A and B are shown apart, each in its own frame.
Chain A
Amino acid sequence: MRICKPCDEKTWPPGAARKEEMHIFRPRQNAAPRGQTTRPAYALGVTSKPKKKDSDMKIDKTIYKDRKERQIGMTANHTSRPDKVLFFADPHFLFFKSLPTLHTLASRTSRHTDQNLPKSAIQPTHKRNSNYLNLNIKQMSKVIQTLYVFAVIILLASCGNSGKKTNEEIALKDAIKVETIKPTVNVYIENSGSMDGFVNRGNEFTSFITSYLTDISIKYSNDINLYYINSQIIPLGSDLTNFTSRLDANSFRQMGGNRGETHIFQLLDTILKVKDHNSISIFITDGIFSPGRSRDASNYIVDQYNGIKHAFSNYSRSNPKAAVVVYQLLSQFNGTFFDRNDRPIVNVREELPYYVWLIGDLAKIKKLVDSVLITNVRSSNDPNIFAISKGNRKVNYAVKMGSGNFKLDRSNPLKEITNLKRDKRTGKVKFSVDADLSGFLLNNDYLLNPSNYKSSNSNYQFNIKNAVSNPHGYTHTFEFTADNVHKGNVTILLKSQIPQWVEDVNDNEGLNVIQGKTYGIRYQIHSVYEAFTFNNINYTEITINIK
Chain B
Amino acid sequence: MEDLLGNIYCWFESLFGQNLAEHLWGYNCVTQIYDGKNLFNSIGLITAGVSLVFVLAYYYLPLYFFNHPRSNRWWNWLIILLIAGIINFFIAYGWTVNDFLNGNIGDCLMYTRDEQGNIIAQHIFTSDCWLFGLSNLFVSTLFFIGWSLVFKWWSRNCKHSPLF
B19–A402 touching, CB < 8 Å: yes
Interface set, chain A 398-444, CB cutoff 8 A to B: 398, 401-402, 405, 407-408, 410, 413-414
Smallest CB-CB separation from B30: which chain A residue?
A: A471
How far does the Cβ of A429 sit from chain B's closest Cβ, in whole Å?
A: 15
In this assembly, does A232 line the interface, its C-beta being within 8 Å of a C-beta of chain B?
no
Q: Given that A410-B3, A469-B117 are contacting pairs, would A402 and B32 also be in contact in the complex, using a CB cutoff of 8 Å?
A: no
> In whole angstroms, how far apart are the Cα atoms of A470 and B19 in the complex?
18
Interface set, chain B 12-34, CB cutoff 8 A to A: 18-19, 22, 25, 27, 29-30, 32-34
Residues of B within 8 A of A456 (CB): none
Contact of A472 among B32, B114, B123 (CB under 8 A): B32
Contact of B115 among A402, A405, A414, A466 (CB under 8 A): A466
In this assembly, does A143 line the interface, its C-beta being within 8 Å of a C-beta of chain B?
no
Q: Given that A401-B22, A402-B109 are contacting pairs, would A410 and B115 also be in contact in the complex, using a CB cutoff of 8 Å?
A: no
A469–B115 touching, CB < 8 Å: yes
Residues of A within 8 A of B113 (CB): 468-469
Q: Given that A410-B3, A413-B34, A472-B32 are contacting pairs, would A402 and B116 also be in contact in the complex, using a CB cutoff of 8 Å?
A: no
Residues of A within 8 A of B115 (CB): 466-469
Residues of B within 8 A of A470 (CB): 108
What 0/1 readout, one digit per residue, does chain A (274-296) give for beta carbons within 8 Å of chain B? 00000000000000000000000
A-B contact count (CB 8 A): 44
- Majority secondary structure of chain A interface residues (helix, strand, loop or mixed): loop
- Majority secondary structure of chain B interface residues (helix, strand, loop or mixed): loop
Interface set, chain A 427-480, CB cutoff 8 A to B: 466-472
A interface size (C-beta, 8 A):
16
Q: Given that A398-B32, A401-B109, A402-B109 are contacting pairs, would A413 and B27 also be in contact in the complex, using a CB cutoff of 8 Å?
A: yes
Smallest CB-CB separation from B121: which chain A residue?
A: A402
Smallest CB-CB separation from B111: which chain A residue?
A: A402
Residues of A within 8 A of B27 (CB): 401, 408, 413
Interface set, chain A 313-339, CB cutoff 8 A to B: none
Interface residues of B (CB under 8 A from A): 3, 18-19, 22, 25, 27, 29-30, 32-34, 108-109, 112-117, 123
A-B contact pairs, 19 of them (CB 8 A): A398-B32, A401-B22, A401-B27, A402-B108, A402-B123, A405-B18, A407-B18, A408-B22, A408-B34, A413-B33, A413-B34, A414-B32, A466-B115, A467-B115, A468-B113, A469-B115, A469-B116, A471-B30, A472-B32
